[in-house]
């Protein structure tokens, strides 16, 4: 069967076939040849990755031996040992697809055979760290929903062409197996429990349920959105990387403390530099101000590195997110397991009208990273993309009772007011300037608590449009989750001691996806009772039915 070219890979490599040929390729399936190994080029990477673990022992050997000839011999022996260990590990690691399963075999010290049924594959993650990209290699991770770690299935060191071919073969065979079993997933958005038609949008998802197995090999790919590079300017608003300058400064200080003597600056160099700055408060203030000024620039650079050229695609029933400059990463999420989405924004993002979006997926490991649907984009774009890829939410959020507003105002104002009063009392008794400054800062924060508490109350809300339910809360980080009704597996009502005093509840919708539950905070007793009955009336009907009357004789 001839291959159909799809142009360049997302990693800058040459074109590769989008799926494996009809006959069993080398190492794939029954009747194939010997199991496959990783690329031999990975032997150039493994010793480099071992250097951090070998650096301290090698330095110790050199210093203890006094830089004599025997010390160099032992150091060289350690380096050679690392290379030999990498070679043995490469030679004893194999993988292959046999029938309806993927087998990963390790036999370095003890033999280990990991079998992953193809029906359990929920996504394939392909990434290219810098050293891998330099050598034309990639890291392929298989997500089975069992855990978020590497134990699910990891091939670290296959060629780019092999990674793309294996990814296509895995996902295609999964689709074929499910189609033959009569459980093929739609290529477009997941259908709802109420049988709602799959929404369409320009450049969005489209497809039909139950694609015949004999046609499942036909590749289809549609780009939902390509994030323009000018939107990278929104990155610092998220605050995810704003503290990068302080992290770098802290790392430099820690390095000076640990390796100061080896670097020739002395172990006490960092402490002495700190005392020198402390004795010159104006220079210390300038240093802190420079770090603060560098925060948005460093945050913007780090954000651009991780989200460069972000693309969201629909590929054969999978949502595929590709991003990254230094480490190019491609994450596949099975569309039929997507149960909703979460839209998040902060104060600065809200002022700029931008948000971020994550998919709520059943059995997804590391959902905070792997489930990202969109980086920081305009809200209108996020609404359009999530509505086209997953489904829209078509109802207004219902407000929570006024007592919830009072609770938020109290928690935003009372603690700082108490600190300010105590600081004023200490300042009046001691007359120290420090207490006056602390009192002014605390009272200023208490004043800022008024708009913060009101905004937190306005952010509260929950609703149901007949197909999807939604809950929202937060202010500094406001999150709105939209979940399909079919994803709800239970309800939980929680009430703290303070909530009992106020007569409000926290109603949690249990969902077998994402974070496992999404709370509607500080709802009234009527809302806590009526909302579950509205979303899942069949569950509560036996408890709400009228008791049978007395039998007539």
Secondary-structure percent of the chain, ordered helix, strand, coil, rounded to 5: 45, 25, 30
Q: Do 49 and 137 belong to one domain?
A: yes
Give the confidence band of 548 by pLDDT, cuts at 50, 70, 90.
low
Q: Are 338 and 359 in contact (CB under 8 A)?
A: yes
| Residue carrying the six token digits 């400064």 | 249
- Given 244, 277, 307, the domain boundary residue is 307
Provide the pLDDT confidence category of residue 485 given band limits of 50, 70 and 90.
very high
Q: Is 272 a domain residue? A: yes
Residues 419 and 517 in one domain: no
- pLDDT grade for 18, boundaries at 50, 70 and 90: very low
Which residue from 151, 173, 171 is spatially nearest to 163, judged by alpha carbons? Answer: 171
Quote the pLDDT of residue 60.
54
pLDDT at 211: 33
Q: Assess whether 168 and 252 both reside in one domain.
A: no
Q: What tens digit of pLDDT does each residue of 252-280 get? A: 777 666 655 555 555 566 677 777 777 77
> Three-state DSSP class for 505?
strand
- Structural domain count, the chain: 4
Other beta carbons within 10 angstroms of residue 413's beta carbon come to 18
Alpha carbon distance 461, 151 (integer Å): 39
CB 66 within 8 A of CB 34: no
Q: Are 284 and 278 in contact (CB under 8 A)?
A: yes
Q: Are 509 and 466 part of one and the same domain?
A: yes
Are 409 and 525 found together in one domain?
no
Predicted pLDDT at 19: 37
* 214 or 163, which is more confident: 163
End-of-domain residue from the set 145, 164, 183? 183
- Is residue 372, in this structure, part of any structural domain at all? no
Asked if pLDDT for residue 330 goes beyond 60, the answer is yes
- Whole-number CA gyration radius for the chain: 29
CATH number of the domain bearing residue 518:
2.30.29
Please say if the pLDDT value at position 198 is more than 50: no
In this predicted structure, the answer to whether residue 173 has a pLDDT above a threshold of 80 is no
pLDDT (tens digit, 9 = 90+) per residue, 357-406?
Answer: 999 988 775 566 778 899 999 999 999 999 988 889 999 999 999 999 99
Q: Is 516 left (phi over 0), alpha (psi -120 to 50) or beta?
A: left
More confident residue, 456 or 180: 456
Inter-CA distances, 13 with 6, 207, 226, 418, Å: 12, 29, 19, 62
Dihedral in degrees, nearest 10, Cα atoms 519, 521, 523, 527: -10
**What Cα–Cα distance (Å) separates residue 4 from each residue in 17, 163, 211, 219?**
6, 17, 20, 9
Is residue 260 one of the residues assigned to a domain?
yes
Q: What percent of the chain has pLDDT over 90?
A: 40
Q: pLDDT tens digits, residue range 496-530?
A: 999 999 999 999 999 987 788 999 999 999 999 99
Residue 54 lies inside a defined structural domain of this protein: yes
- The closest alpha carbon to 372, from 326, 469, 307, belongs to 307
Is residue 1 in some structural domain?
A: no
Phi-psi category of residue 42: left, alpha or beta, with phi > 0 → left and psi -120 to 50 → alpha: alpha
User: Region 163-178: what's the mean pLDDT?
Assistant: 75
Start-to-end Cα distance in the chain: 79
Same domain assignment for residues 46 and 161 = yes
Residue 88: Cβ within 10 Å count: 13
Please tell me the least confidently modeled range out of 24-28, 96-100, 155-159, 239-243.
24-28
Among 51-60, 312-321, 508-517, the minimum mean pLDDT is found in 51-60
Give yes or no: residues 179 and 64 share one domain.
yes
Where is pLDDT greater, at 276 or 428?
Answer: 428
Tokens of 169: 């073969």
499 secondary structure, DSSP code: H
In a domain, 343, yes or no: no
> What's the token pair of residue 171?
């996902």
Q: Are residues 436 and 481 in the same domain?
A: no
176 and 260 share one domain: no
Digit-coded pLDDT (tens) for 37-46: 999 998 888 7
Range of the domain at 534: 460-542
CB 395 within 8 A of CB 464: yes
Between the CA of residue 318 and those of 125, 223, 287, 371, what are the distances in Å? 12, 12, 48, 12
Average pLDDT over the chain, rounded to whole? Answer: 78
**246 found inside a domain:** yes
Q: Which two tokens stand for residue 77?
A: 């022996």
Is 283 part of a structural domain of the chain? yes
Tens digit of pLDDT for each residue in 73-92? 666 676 677 778 888 888 88
Residue among 112, 87, 115 at smallest CA distance from 102: 115
Confidence of residue 152 (pLDDT cuts 50, 70, 90): low
Q: Do 47 and 173 lie in a common domain?
A: yes
Residues 490 and 476 grouped into a single domain: yes
CA nearest 158: which of 47, 27, 52? 27
Q: Are residues 435 and 466 in the same domain?
A: no
pLDDT for residue 549:
57
Q: Where are the beta strands (DSSP E) in 192-292?
A: 221-226
Instruction: Return the beta strands (E) in 101-212 as ranges.
Output: 101-106, 112-117, 123-128, 137-143, 154-159
């Amino acid at each position: 069967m001839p291959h159909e070219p799809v142009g360049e890979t997302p990693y800058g490599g040459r074109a590769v076939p989008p799926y494996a040929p009809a006959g069993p390729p080398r190492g794939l399936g029954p009747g194939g040849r010997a199991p496959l190994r990783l690329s031999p080029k990975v032997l150039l990477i493994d010793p480099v990755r071992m250097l951090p673990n070998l650096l301290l022992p090698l330095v110790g050997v050199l210093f203890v031996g006094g830089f004599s000839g025997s010390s160099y011999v032992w150091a060289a022996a350690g380096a050679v040992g690392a290379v030999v260990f990498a070679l043995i590990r490469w030679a004893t690691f194999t993988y292959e697809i046999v029938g309806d399963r993927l087998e990963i075999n390790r036999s370095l010290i003890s033999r280990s055979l990991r079998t992953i049924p193809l029906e359990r594959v929920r996504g394939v993650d392909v990434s290219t760290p810098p050293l891998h990209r330099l050598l034309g290699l990639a890291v392929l991770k298989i997500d089975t929903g069992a855990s978020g770690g590497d134990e699910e299935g990891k091939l670290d060191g296959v060629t780019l062409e092999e990674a793309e071919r294996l990814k296509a073969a895995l996902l295609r065979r999964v689709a074929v197996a499910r189609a033959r079993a009569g459980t093929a997933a739609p290529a477009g958005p997941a259908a709802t429990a109420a049988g709602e038609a799959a929404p369409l949008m320009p450049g969005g998802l489209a497809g039909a349920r139950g694609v015949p197995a004999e046609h499942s090999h036909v590749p289809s790919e549609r780009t939902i959105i390509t994030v323009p590079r000018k939107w990278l300017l929104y990155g610092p608003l998220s605050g995810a990387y704003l503290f990068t300058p302080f992290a770098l400064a802290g790392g430099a200080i820690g390095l000076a403390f640990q390796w100061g003597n080896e670097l020739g600056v002395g172990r006490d160099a960092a402490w002495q530099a700190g005392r020198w700055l402390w004795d010159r408060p104006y220079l210390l203030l300038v240093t802190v101000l420079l770090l603060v000024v560098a925060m948005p620039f460093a945050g913007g650079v780090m954000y651009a590195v991780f989200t460069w050229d972000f693309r969201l695609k629909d590929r054969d029933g999978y949502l595929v997110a590709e991003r990254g400059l230094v480490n190019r990463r491609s994450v596949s999420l099975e569309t039929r397991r997507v149960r909703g989405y979460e839209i998040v924004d902060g104060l600065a993002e809200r002022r700029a009208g931008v948000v971020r979006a994550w998919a709520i997926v059943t059995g997804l490991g590391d959902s905070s990273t792997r489930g990202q649907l969109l980086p920081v984009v305009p809200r209108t774009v996020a609404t359009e993309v999530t509505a086209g890829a997953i489904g829209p939410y078509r109802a207004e959020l219902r407000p929570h009772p006024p007592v919830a507003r009072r609770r938020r105002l109290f928690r935003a104002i009372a603690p700082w007011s108490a600190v300010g009063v105590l600081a004023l009392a200490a300042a009046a008794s001691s007359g120290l300037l420090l207490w006056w400054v602390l009192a002014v800062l605390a009272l200023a924060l208490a004043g800022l608590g008024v708009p913060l508490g009101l905004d937190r109350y306005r952010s509260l809300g929950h609703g149901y449009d007949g197909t999807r339910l939604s809950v929202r809360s937060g202010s500094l980080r406001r999150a709105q989750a939209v979940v399909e009704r079919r994803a709800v597996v239970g309800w939980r009502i929680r009430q703290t001691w303070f909530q009992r005093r106020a007569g409000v509840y926290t109603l949690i919708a249990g969902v077998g996806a994402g974070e496992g539950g999404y709370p509607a905070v500080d709802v009234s007793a009527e809302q806590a009772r009526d909302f579950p009955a509205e979303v899942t009336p069949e569950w509560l009907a036996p408890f709400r039915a009228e008791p049978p009357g007395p039998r007539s004789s």
